[in-house]
Structure formats: C-alpha cells, structure tokens
Structure 1
Amino acid sequence: MKNALQKLFELTSQIAREGVSLVPRVVPADAPFVQYQHYPKGDCIAPVSKSRWFYHAHKPEEREAGEHGHFHLFMPLALFDGVEPYYQPPAKLPNGKKTQGVVHFGALSFGIDGMPMSWFTTNYWVTYEYMMPAEAIASRLRRFDMTGAPGDPLVNDWLTAAVQQFHDPIIDMVRERDELLMAKKRELGSAVFENKRVEILSRQPFDL
C-alpha cells in the first residue's frame, strides 16, 4: 500500500478536483439531514476486515464549535479475542436492538466547511461498545481497513488512510482516554462508564 500521507493527499486532491467533500458523499442531498441518525443506515462495514464507521451529528448546542458532524470508527470485537474489556454492553441495548460486537477507537469531526477538524474519544455510553484497553487497541489499529466497503470508495479509502497516517496520535489519544477514565473510576466506580456527564475524554487536532 502507498504511503498513507501520500494516499491521503491524492484522495484529498481528488476531492478538491470534484468539488465534493466527504460529508455530501455520505449524507444524501435529496432528503433532510436528521440529527443522531446514522449515515449510512446500518453503518458502513468492510466485508473482509469488518471495520466499520457511521456519520452523524448531535444537536447544534452539543457540537464542537464550527462542527457539522463526525465519523465514529470501529474495529470488530473478533480482533480482541482473549482481551478483557473495561466495560461491555448487555445482550440487548436500551433501544431493544441486539448489541453489536464493536470496539470504538475514536471519532473524527468535520466542519461546516467540509474540512476535518479533530479526532476525539468518547465514553462507553456514547456508542455502547466493548471498551478495550489502549494497549490492546494499539496492537491492532493498523488492521482498520475499509477496503471494499459499500458506498463511495473515496470515503472508505480516505478514512483508512487517515487512520493509518494518524496512527500514533490516535493511540496517544486513547491512552489519554484511559488515564482520565481510570481517574474517574477511582472516584465514581464502574458507574463512570454510563455517566452522561462524562462524554468526550480526549481530543487531537487533525493537523497534517
């Protein structure tokens, strides 16, 4: 595979030539954009790696300044066989749906100008994930690969290259997440993972 930074610049140049950023490639232009709804419906899942993402947005007052929405990025639970999670979801989620076997390692926010803004991590209750230790994520993150996933291949290739290029900053960010979580856990116990006041745990700028 080409150098991730080179690939990222090639894909970004293609975006510039075509005049269509990642967000309009994901959010249909012929229907209203619905807050909290997953785009695409059912998430985008790679057929081989089982890596996945979805894009959505919160209410304007809950967004980062200048943010339109963000991509949530996941690896499959199957990669973490034998690893004890910090916390895990019940068999059924609060909305009655069956739990997905996913490990969330970060999210990437995009501005209203269509440009990437920052990476960030979230608490368990945001995505109802199997929350894995940072070092387990660190040894597996290079296996995030959206090749062959449905939808616009440019979006999938761009997200794959972005995660590869920002591999080390993402791991640093997940380690910061763990440090804050463990500090909060000493104060609040396991209730910290479902505490709605503990949401964004760490952040890194998208800075090339």
Structure 2
Amino acid sequence: MTAGRLLRSCWLAMAEMGETPLSLLLQGEAGALPNRHYPSGDVYDVGHHTQFYCHIHRAGETGHIHLFQRARGMPAGLRPMHPSDEDNAPCHLVAVGLGPDGNAAALFTTNRWVTGEDWYAAPAVKAMLSGFGIQTGGRLAPVAAWLEALVAFYRPAIEHLIDRRDAAVAAWSLRHPAGDPLTDGNLEVTSRLAIDPAADLAAVGACPQ
C-alpha cells in the first residue's frame, strides 16, 4: 500500500470509531491544558526508540504533536552538533499542528529552546526519517499508525522544512551575533508549512474529492 493510501486508511479507521487523533490523545477531555503532555508519560516505541506527545502552550490552542527519534534507534554514525549529557537523548524530527477537526493542519520545526534535544544538522535528521516508525498498543495504536503514515507521505515536505530550519538558524545567528539561536525563545518555530491531508491525498489520487 502506498503511503498516501495508508494515511487515508488510518484516518478512516479512526473516523469509523468516531474518533480523531486529537480526541484519542485527549481521552475524553474537552480540551488540552497548557504544558501538559497527552498522553501522560508520552508514547515511546522501545523497538524504534521513537517518541511522541501532544500538548498546547497557551489556553485556546488546539494542540500539536512533537515527534522524536532517540539516539539508540538512529542510523549508525550520526553525531549531534550540540550534544547533551542525556543518555539516549532525543532529536526532534517534526511537529504536527492539529486543526479544529482533529486532523493535521501544519508541519513545523523548532529550535532547541522548545525541545531540549540533542541538535543534529539537517542531513542527519533527514537520514533518521528514512527508517522512521512508531508503534504502540491500546487506545493510541491508531494515532501511532497515522503518524507513521503521515511522516511517510509528507517526507519530502518534512525534509524541506528541516533544510529551512537550518537556514533560519543560520540567518538568526547573523542577525544576533551575540545570541544563541538554538536556545533563543524568540525564534522558537524555525519553519512551518500549512497542509490539508484530504486535498493533498486527492491530488495524488489516494483519496476521492
């Protein structure tokens, strides 16, 4: 099955349950609370060493999902430009902004101030995408499958966002030579792309208009 058809299948499976990625993550709550992770403790795939959680920064936001690759699941030979002291430290791959309908509405990248990650250059982060997988059991299994399909379908766009992330960091450094673009909260979002999965799937013939 192509990535597009798999993505559509994952969405339809949740729709048949009367759920969306957001509703499954909130587990019956009317809305997310600022700076709380959904689910509590995050989802961690011990086979792929990947991780995700949903949260909001401010009241009134719909929510977004952060996706990470931990060091133990990375391709061999990748080294961070700016490591931390954490064992099996994460690298942020991409964030998925959610719309009012609970579906993906945007993809974006961030600086280290947001995620506290080990910082890898764009080629290394893009290499991590090639084998990305995220699986879990229980209520959030459909969300994990949907995220895996979403990354596969939008991989070219995500790779472009990662390149733009590095360009934004470099440009910020030139404008603020005394600062650190990786830890500056004024930078935060380094690249962003609005998406419409239904329209994008229809455009490649994976979804009827």
**TM-score normalised by the shorter chain: which range applies?**
0.7 to 0.9
Q: Distance in 1 between matches of 2:71 and 2:36?
A: 23
**3-state SS in 2 of match to 1:143:** coil
Q: Distance in 2 between matches of 1:31 and 1:15?
A: 18
> Root-mean-square deviation (CA), in Å?
2.2
Of the three residues 99, 103, 106, the one matched with 1:111 is: 99
The answer for the alignment partner of 1:58 in structure 2 is 57
Identity across matched positions, percent: 26
Of the three residues 176, 180, 184, the one matched with 2:172 is: 184
The answer for the alignment partner of 2:26 in structure 1 is 27
Q: Distance in 2 between matches of 1:41 and 1:70?
A: 15
Q: Residue by residue, what CA displacement relative to the aligned partner does 1:76-116 show, whole Å, maximum 9, x if unpaired? A: 12316543433334x3xxxxxx6761000110011222121
The answer for the alignment partner of 2:186 in structure 1 is 197
Q: Does 1:88 align with 2:94?
A: no
The answer for the alignment partner of 2:68 in structure 1 is 74
Q: Residue by residue, what CA displacement relative to the aligned partner does 1:146-200 show, whole Å, maximum 9, x if unpaired? A: 1245642111100000001111100000000001101212333462211111111
Give the TM-score normalised by structure 2.
0.84
Cα gap change, 1:32 to 1:18, in 2 (>3 Å): closer
Cα gap change, 1:39 to 1:123, in 2 (>3 Å): same
- Number of equivalences: 195
Q: Residue by residue, what CA displacement relative to the aligned partner does 1:7-59 show, whole Å, maximum 9, x if unpaired? A: 11111112222221111111122587321111112210112001110100111
The answer for the alignment partner of 1:136 in structure 2 is 124
Conservation of the 8 A alpha-carbon contact between 2:99 and 2:105: yes
The answer for the alignment partner of 1:158 in structure 2 is 146
Q: Residue by residue, what CA displacement relative to the aligned partner does 1:44-75 show, whole Å, maximum 9, x if unpaired? A: 011200111010011147xxxxx500000011
Conservation of the 8 A alpha-carbon contact between 2:164 and 2:191: yes
Conservation of the 8 A alpha-carbon contact between 1:35 and 1:57: yes
Q: Structure 1 unaligned runs (5+)?
A: 62-66, 92-97
Q: Distance in 1 between matches of 2:102 and 2:117?
A: 27
Cα gap change, 1:39 to 1:181, in 2 (>3 Å): same
The answer for the alignment partner of 2:204 in structure 1 is none
Moved over 6 A (4+): none
Q: Structure 2 unaligned runs (5+)?
A: 201-209
Alpha-carbon offset, residue 6 of structure 1:
0.8
Q: Distance in 1 between matches of 2:132 and 2:46?
A: 12
Conservation of the 8 A alpha-carbon contact between 2:66 and 2:96: yes
